[in-house]
Chains A and B, each alone.
With several copies, the nearest count.
Chain A
Amino acid sequence: MSRTDLGPPDYKEMLPPVIKENYGQWLYHEYLKPGVMKHVSEKGDALYTIRIGSPRLVGLDTVRELCDLADKYCDGYLRFTSRHNVELLVSNEANVDPLLAELKQKGMPVGGTGNSISNIVHTQGWIHCHTPATDASGIVKAVMDDLYDYFTHDDLLPARLRVAMACCLNMCGAVHCSDIAILGIHRTPPRIDHTKVSKVCEIPTVIASCPTAAIKPDPKNKSVKVTEEKCMYCGNCYTMCPAMEIMDPLNDGIAILVGGKVSNSRTAPGFSRLAIPFLPNNAPRWPEVTEAVRNIVETWAKDAKKGERMGEWISRIGWERFFDRTGIPFTDKHIDDYIFSIPTFRTTTNFKW
């Protein structure tokens, strides 16, 4: 019988020799070209990293192809990044150019370093989850196709650009702190199947799951009822109770949030904030979404100072200008009405016309 609680494999055993020998002794790095980095150690050793864009949802053929490349050029070593790119770890400088040539020939995108867009961190969508308001992989593909040049170049954008996508507001893609967040949202209250509620759900848990206390017991039906004005369609109740259907093809769609970041560089990390409350779910290529994202990216690229990330740009020019310059209409939806709303209100006369 298999053993339990073995834990993950030992990372040390899978590090390339140049890393083992220079572990903790790296001195600096250089960008040789987009997607190609050189790390130099105190001893003078060098490691070359080639970063390749990945759809993240891959089949075995692709993985084996990557292994072939790593075997051919990297002594069998590669890694994946926190944004799900592939990094081929080249110890021998002579292998860099041939590898790049082969990648080019194979059509595999090299890039994502420095002032570029990296891969879109994303989630399951219609591929595998039960609460999505949209697909994830499809939108990511459409957007990355559209922004492809910004991945393979690092001199077109003022700063790095991190886009994330989550198919529902659970936000598994951690879109809440991204330069641009693409977020699937529901827009109608759950539709309750009263015949199922008492069978498949624990009523007190369902009631407790609602952040706005919109759910009340409905003893007559041995079920629950929802005060619709209070419901903001989070789907929490559905996660607790499959009899409260939240998916609604007529109204589900996408919201765009902008200006978040994670790093502490210069400015503190911050949340992405609502730019576009709703875009329709136009599969298979979501033209409204790609267009909206491109518009935001290009407005920023044109207007920001060098080194200014999306949120830094917005905080310099002000949100009133952001809406002006992108041409995005401002609506009541943009104004927070949840727990921490008050600190987001403009409590000063200092604003721009």
Chain B
Amino acid sequence: MTERKTPMLDELEKGPWPSFVTDLKRAAEKNDSVKDLIAQLEQSYEEKKGHWKHGGIVGVRGYGAGVIGRYSDEPEKYPNIAEFHTLRINSPAGWFYDTKTLRNVCDMWEEHGSGLLNLHGTTGDIILLGTKTNELQPTFDAFSDAGFDLGGSGSGLRSPSACCGPARCEWACYDTLDVCDNLTHEYQDEMHRPMWPYKFKFKFSGCPNDCVASIARSDLSVIGTWRDTLRINQEEIKNYANSGMDIQGRVCEKCPTKALTFNSETKELFVKAEDCTRCMHCINVLPKAVRPGKEKGATLMIGGKSTILRSAFLSWVIVPFMPLEAPYTELKDLIARIWEWWDEHGKTRERIGELIYRLGMGNFLRAVDLPPVPQMVKEPRANPYIFWQADEVIKADEATK
């Protein structure tokens, strides 16, 4: 344990935004590993350099995932963080908690670890930040007894996450929390025992506002939408107009498809349903007056990911509309086909989007049995390098026979 001055970190206690340094210092009062953490961090600040070594393989019994091993590269100097692993605890769908549960989390983590946590990790887990190898199993046991389980890591399914959806949002086009929860339970094995080419992420957003950034941050993005016409409450339109809202300027003119017309005499708003692309803009600006349609479901998109290796991809449409009702059989069947193909053809560290890029959408669609539709593309190919399947051309030898 190293006690030392932290003039640089102290600077980060100043200013109005809540300070993680203050939290670290408070935690350090009760936990020696945090003292070492602070000291090592101060050293990083001085040297402009991290001081963690590559994680070795650590974990809990029966699991291949959920723990990130971490070791200080100066264990003699910082013995209390010689081992300082994190556990990823799968959070409840939508990140809703009661205080009883949350206090229990605190108590368990006080007993078994540093007392530091991320609420939440960017994938959505509760990140228990820092404990020793021999505490991993006891920590897991305690959390498991309390009804928690580990999240994902490594080359497996990562903890799915969902926007608050029907629990707190009027725009949810399907039950994001239930799908998230249902699928997470369904795929425990895929999450806990990584065995794929690389990681795979699901994120569930209830509408095209995409409040969990699923299109950017998940391999399979499930985004709520509707098939019929958005609903307009003309009374509320009048109220907005009367309250001074510039409906023509802020709504109609910004509609990307120019599907809206506002009659400034009658103060009525009309939508040309077949032009609307359900971008949500008019709904967002006029939440009391405009709402999604009634025939609801989701658009499924594939391939979203960050930079490594072929640069970042945004997910793209593979199923324009799928109704999503428990037990989500159609969705699960499709997922099974996708994973099977990826597992068979993917190279190590090749995400599904990159595999499709390498082998082509045509091959992907045939393999997972999805019909090609124009909604999948912004625009068709510009090059003439079209592949033809054997049954689409006439074989010369057949013809001469």
Q: Do A and B bind each other?
A: yes
**Contacting residues, chain A, for B384 (C-beta < 8 A):** 169, 171, 183, 185, 234, 255, 257, 274
Given contacts A23-B167, A265-B284, A351-B317, contact A126 B51 (CB under 8 A): yes
- Any A CB within 8 A of the CB of B161: yes
Partner of A9, one of B19, B26, B51, B92: B92
A176 touches B393 (CB 8 A): no
- Any B CB within 8 A of the CB of A105: no
Partner of A138, one of B12, B210, B385: B12
Across the interface, name the chain A residue whose C-beta is closest to B361.
A335
- Any B CB within 8 A of the CB of A161: no
The interface size of chain B toward A, counting residues with CB under 8 Å, comes to 171
Distance, CA A64 to CA B377, complexed state (A): 49
Distance, CA A23 to CA B164, complexed state (A): 11
**Contacting residues, chain B, for A5 (C-beta < 8 A):** 149, 188-189, 192
CB distance from A195 to the nearest CB of B (A): 16
B213 touches A61 (CB 8 A): no
Partner of B166, one of A24, A128, A142: A24
**Contacting residues, chain B, for A346 (C-beta < 8 A):** 316-317, 375-378
CB distance from A252 to the nearest CB of B (A): 6
Partner of B210, one of A54, A89, A263, A267: A263
Given contacts A79-B164, A264-B279, A323-B374, contact A274 B381 (CB under 8 A): yes
A107 touches B16 (CB 8 A): yes
The residues in A between 1 and 36 inclusive whose CB is less than 8 angstroms from any CB of B are: 1-15, 19, 23-24, 26-30
**Contacting residues, chain A, for B386 (C-beta < 8 A):** 185, 187, 232-233, 255, 274, 277, 333
Partner of A126, one of B44, B317, B349, B393: B44
Partner of A352, one of B44, B147, B277, B365: B277
Across the interface, name the chain A residue whose C-beta is closest to B9.
A284
- Any B CB within 8 A of the CB of A144: yes
- Any A CB within 8 A of the CB of B401: no
Across the interface, name the chain B residue whose C-beta is closest to A126.
B44
The residues in A between 134 and 162 inclusive whose CB is less than 8 angstroms from any CB of B are: 134-135, 137-138, 141-142, 144-146, 148, 151
- Any A CB within 8 A of the CB of B244: no
B11, B145, B215, B366, most chain A CB atoms within 10 A: B215
The number of inter-chain residue pairs (CB within 8 angstroms) is: 522
A6 touches B149 (CB 8 A): yes
B170 touches A6 (CB 8 A): no
**Contacting residues, chain B, for A90 (C-beta < 8 A):** none
Interface stretch of the complex, out of A92-100, A203-211, A216-224, A293-301: A203-211
Partner of A251, one of B119, B124, B394: B394
The residues in A between 238 and 281 inclusive whose CB is less than 8 angstroms from any CB of B are: 242, 247-252, 255, 257, 259-260, 262-267, 269-275, 277, 281
CB distance from B18 to the nearest CB of A (A): 5
Distance, CA A289 to CA B356, complexed state (A): 33
**Contacting residues, chain B, for A27 (C-beta < 8 A):** 170
**Contacting residues, chain A, for B101 (C-beta < 8 A):** 9, 14
Distance, CA A301 to CA B204, complexed state (A): 31
Given contacts A8-B92, A269-B210, A341-B361, contact A60 B115 (CB under 8 A): yes
Across the interface, name the chain B residue whose C-beta is closest to A119.
B17
Against A, the Cβ 8 Å flags (1 = close, 0 = not) of B94-109 are 1111111111011001
- Any A CB within 8 A of the CB of B172: yes
Given contacts A5-B188, A346-B376, A351-B375, contact A338 B181 (CB under 8 A): no
Partner of B380, one of A81, A247, A344: A344
B215 touches A187 (CB 8 A): no
B101, B118, B144, B303, most chain A CB atoms within 10 A: B118
Given contacts A23-B167, A334-B372, A346-B376, contact A174 B122 (CB under 8 A): yes
- Any A CB within 8 A of the CB of B313: yes
B311 touches A11 (CB 8 A): no
Distance, CA A130 to CA B41, complexed state (A): 13
Distance, CA A344 to CA B314, complexed state (A): 11
- Any A CB within 8 A of the CB of B217: yes
CB distance from B262 to the nearest CB of A (A): 16
**Contacting residues, chain A, for B33 (C-beta < 8 A):** none
B95 touches A81 (CB 8 A): yes
**Contacting residues, chain B, for A194 (C-beta < 8 A):** none
- Any A CB within 8 A of the CB of B14: yes
CB distance from A157 to the nearest CB of B (A): 16
Distance, CA A71 to CA B23, complexed state (A): 21
Supply 19 further A-B pairs (C-beta < 8 A) apart from A63-B119, A330-B374, A332-B362. Answer: A2-B144, A11-B167, A26-B170, A47-B168, A58-B116, A67-B103, A79-B168, A177-B213, A232-B387, A266-B255, A273-B382, A320-B375, A334-B381, A335-B377, A339-B311, A341-B360, A346-B317, A346-B378, A347-B316
The 9 listed contacts between A and B (C-beta, < 8 Å) are A8-B92, A19-B167, A82-B212, A128-B52, A176-B216, A176-B312, A187-B388, A265-B284, A332-B361
